[in-house]
């Protein structure tokens, strides 16, 4: 089945450690996105990529980094510079980076601090 796969489902980070969240899609979508969800808040955009080898910062990019070397993959690294990383992270994709295109989401990774 086509879809977006995020792994792992749960992740724990130690102080000073970088961790990487995986996002893979087989929908042949050009655009991919990373969102952060905190309790009682809507989703906030971290990074997005409209095409391979290109990505842009969203609203809360500080402390995060991404790469887009393959169309199918858009990994997110939470660096030690992100002082409050505990959250639910959602990856999404759309056919193209156009405002009328619905985004399709993975089932998320929950990150916690040890």
Partner 1 sequence: AQKVTQAQTEISVVEKEDVTLDCVYETRDTTYYLFWYKQPPSGELVFLIRRNSFDEQNEISGRYSWNFQKSTSSFNFTITASQVVDSAVYFCALSGANYGGATNKLIFGTGTLLAVQP
Interface residue list for partner 1 (CB under 8 A): 31, 40-45, 48, 50, 56, 58, 88, 90, 92, 94, 96-108, 110
Taking the least distance from each CB to partner 1, the nearer of 13 and 104 is 104
Residue carrying structure tokens 């990856």: 91
Q: What is the DSSP string of 34-84?
A: EEEE-TTS-EEEEEEEEETTEEEE-TT-TTEEE--SBTTB--EEE-TT-S-
Taking the least distance from each CB to partner 1, the nearer of 13 and 44 is 44
| Secondary structure of residue 38 in the 3-state scheme | coil
Taking the least distance from each CB to partner 1, the nearer of 21 and 31 is 31
Q: How far apart are CA 28 and CA 43, in angstroms?
A: 24
Shortest distance, position 101 Cβ to partner 1, whole Å: 6
Shortest distance, position 57 Cβ to partner 1, whole Å: 10
Shortest distance, position 37 Cβ to partner 1, whole Å: 9
């Amino acid at each position: 089945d086509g879809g977006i796969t995020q792994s792992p489902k749960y992740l724990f980070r130690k102080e000073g450690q970088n961790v990487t969240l995986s996002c893979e899609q087989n929908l042949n979508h050009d655009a991919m996105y990373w969102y952060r969800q905190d309790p009682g808040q809507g989703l906030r955009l971290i990074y997005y990529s409209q095409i391979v080898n290109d990505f842009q910062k969203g609203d809360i990019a500080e402390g995060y980094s991404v790469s887009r070397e393959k169309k199918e993959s858009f990994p997110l690294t939470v660096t030690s510079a992100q002082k409050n990383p505990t959250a639910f992270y959602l990856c999404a994709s759309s056919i193209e980076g156009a405002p009328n295109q619905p985004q399709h989401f993975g089932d998320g990774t929950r990150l916690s601090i040890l």
